Structure formats: structure tokens, C-alpha cells
Amino acid sequence: MSTVQNILDDIQYRIDTDNDLYDLFNLAIRTIWKRLFYHESDIVSKDLADVKIFSEVTLAADDIAFTNDDPDTITCVTSNFLTSQFRPDMHIKAKLSLTAEDISFSYSATVANTITSVAEDFDAAGFAAGQKVNVSGSASNDDDVLIVSVSGGVITLGIDILTVDEDAGEEVTISVDHPDNPGPYKIETVAATTLTLYSAESLTAVSAGESVKLISEDHFADLPDDFWGLKERPNIKGKTWNLKPLPSKEAGMRYTSAGQPLYYKIKASEMHVYPASSSDIELEGAYYWEPDLVDSVDDTIPFDGLFDDAIAEVIVKLYEVGLANDGARTNVMEEFLTRAVDLFAARRDLESPTHFTEEIDYNDYL
């Protein structure tokens, strides 16, 4: 591995290296990378590593607290994160969630509808006016509804919102994304009573007392920091077939429960799978990495030293056309480095045929 200083040392007697040459170094790096990408070269590709998706785990308690510190943490004294199967590198989201069997529903087409619990306190659980909560587990009133007001064990809605009157008896859950810390957040370490998040994550401090449910994400994983794009379709480690690109948004919407992932889609710096995974999986496959730009003499030049001499020569050549002539220097850079890359890449990546017979019965030839 060479550094910027190594190349400056090579050319210091040919040009004035006191000039700011970082823009030329970066232009050369980008030019070489683009040409190698054109050749689909292994020089600019790597294998995915530690791209993991975990099956969903949950934990609900009323003593979960969020701490804004360095690093931020989520704590729970009465439950155990380890036995609940929370693990490092999981992504988790938080909801206000209350489940009870004494929740009833009062419908009217002329006056406000209500959701009532005798034993529970919706106020204390953290529910408030303006939240759009999800109701699930009821006999006839599962839906997303907007809260108008909350008082103790009564949630008041608008007029003609519910479907029908419904007596208590079903195990009903009322939930909404946590108003202060919805997530998702990435876990760095797990202890019995504490989840420690990565330093990039930021929580709002909230004391224990609300009815909180933590849920791990089961449908995506973070891609490497230097990820630029896939070189090949990914596969699940241990499987002998590749995932397919998600054909359409509608196709993804058909999967409403977790199972064996069949499709993938890249979203920003994440890889999403469809359906969500019902088991822990690790994704494999080659990807194109994006080179870091240099801004210090100690920065490493990419490409494992294969093009150091070409970078040195083209920087010297650019002095002949003048550093201020952007158009001319770009043409010189591309012409010179394209030749250098083509000469090398064409002989480095020797590949087998794309299509070949998968099985040969040699008995036919004996």
C-alpha cells in the first residue's frame, strides 16, 4: 500500500510538489476506478462481510428508560435483554404498546367514539392527543385511529371512527411509534439490563414509566461503508441459489409476514429482503467499493499500488498543459490512465464461460 507522500517523493525532482495536488490525485483515483468498473474488475470489488439480518425479537415493559449519553443506552431492570435474544448489530425500533383483555369499544355515528380500559391508564402509558395509534387483536375494530384526547383509561376518538360497539374480552393491543425515540437504532453491545447503541445513534432521554415495546427489525441489514453497488446478486450464506431483485413495489407488498427471503432491494445504505426473514441469516456476494478521496500526505492510495507509477506520470504530464486548464487536464488524465488500466485489467481478470454445462456424465464417454 502506498501513500500520497510516496508518490510525491517519486516526482519531487520533476515538478514543484509544494503545489496543492490533492485535486489531481483524486481526479486520477476516480478516473482509474471508473475504468476498472467498466471492465468489471475484481480490483474494485470485495465480498460482503457481516451483512446480517436477524429474526424478530421483542420485549415489552413499563420500566424501559432511554439515556442520552456517550454512548446512548436503553435500560430495563425487570427483563433480560440477553434471554430475550437481543444481539449486537440488531436494529431496533420502539413503540408505546399496551395489551389488555379489558378493552372495550364504543361506536356512534353522532358523538365521539371511545376506547376504554378499566384497569389500564392510557395517560401513564404515554398515549396522547394527536397520535395515530394502531388497534390490533379486537374482534371487529382493528384499524389505525387518531386520538382526540386521553384521560386515564379512556381514549376519545372522533365521530363515526370505529366499526361497531365491542365488549371487553379479546386480547387487544394499542400501539404507536414512540414519540421521542421511534428508531431504528443499531445495537453495539448487549448486557442483561442494558442495550448500548453505536456512537452514531442519538436518543432523547426518557425516564421509565411508559408502556414501551422494543422490536428488532427483520427485513434489512446495513451495507459496508464503502459500498457503491452490487457486482453480483447476493445469496444467503449456506444456500446454493441467489436472491432476485424485487420486481416491483406491489410484489414486496404481498409479503405481510416473515419467511424465507426470495428478493432483495437496495435502499440507500441498506439491503432489504422480501419477505422479512423468519431466521437469522447472513448475506454473501461481491460488491463494488467506492474509493475514499485523499486530503493528506498520509492517506493511502487505493488499488494496492498497481497504478502508482501511472498516477505519478500523469500528474507530471498535467504540468505540461497547465493546472488551470480543467478541460485539457481532464482529457490528458482520461486518455493516459485509460490506456494504463486497459493494458493491465484485460490480462488480470481471466474468467470462465458465463454459460456452461452444470453436470457431465463421464460414463457416456468411457
pLDDT at 16: 63
pLDDT at 7: 81
Euclidean distance between CA atoms 187 and 296, whole angstroms? 33
**210-230: b (≥16 Cβ within 10 Å) or e:** bbbbbbbbbbbbbbbeebbeb
**Cell numbers standing for residue 295:** 486530503
Can you say whether the dihedral through the CA atoms of 43, 47, 48, 50 is positive or negative?
negative
| Residue 134 one-letter amino acid | N
pLDDT at 17: 61
Quote the crossing angle between the two packed helices 22-38 and 4-11, to the nearest 10°: 110
Can you say whether the dihedral through the CA atoms of 142, 148, 151, 156 is positive or negative?
negative
Name the strand (E) or helix (H) holding 362.
none
pLDDT at 317: 82
How do 300-301 and 2-3 pair as beta strands?
antiparallel
Could you report how far apart the first and last alpha carbons of the chain are, in Å? 52
Residues 6+ apart with CB under 8 A from 8: 17, 21, 297
Backbone angles phi, psi at 237, to 5 degrees: -55, 130
Among the listed residues 286, 277, 268, the one whose alpha carbon sits nearest the alpha carbon of residue 52: 277
Q: Which residue has the cell 422490536?
A: 215
* Residue 263: other Cβ atoms inside 10 A: 17
Question: pLDDT tens string for the chain (366 positions)?
Answer: 788 888 877 777 666 666 678 888 898 999 999 999 999 999 999 999 999 999 999 999 999 999 999 899 999 999 999 999 999 999 999 999 999 999 999 999 999 999 999 999 999 999 999 999 999 999 999 999 999 999 999 999 999 999 999 999 999 999 999 999 999 999 999 999 999 999 999 999 999 999 999 999 999 999 999 999 999 999 999 999 999 999 999 999 999 999 999 999 999 999 999 999 999 999 999 999 999 999 999 999 999 999 999 999 988 888 766 655 566 677 888 889 999 999 888 776 655 555 555 555 555 544
Euclidean distance between CA atoms 83 and 92, whole angstroms? 16
Euclidean distance between CA atoms 2 and 298, whole angstroms? 9
What Cα–Cα distance (Å) separates residue 223 from each residue in 2, 126, 353, 361? 27, 35, 30, 41
Is the distance from CB of 156 to CB of 129 less than 8 angstroms? Answer: no
Is the distance from CB of 69 to CB of 217 less than 8 angstroms? Answer: no
Is the distance from CB of 140 to CB of 115 less than 8 angstroms? Answer: no
Euclidean distance between CA atoms 115 and 152, whole angstroms? 11
This prediction has a pTM of 0.82
| Residue 59 one-letter amino acid | L
SS3 245: strand
- How open is the CA angle 93-203-59, to the nearest 5 degrees? 35
Greatest extent of the chain over all pairs of C-alpha atoms, in Å: 90
pLDDT at 9: 79
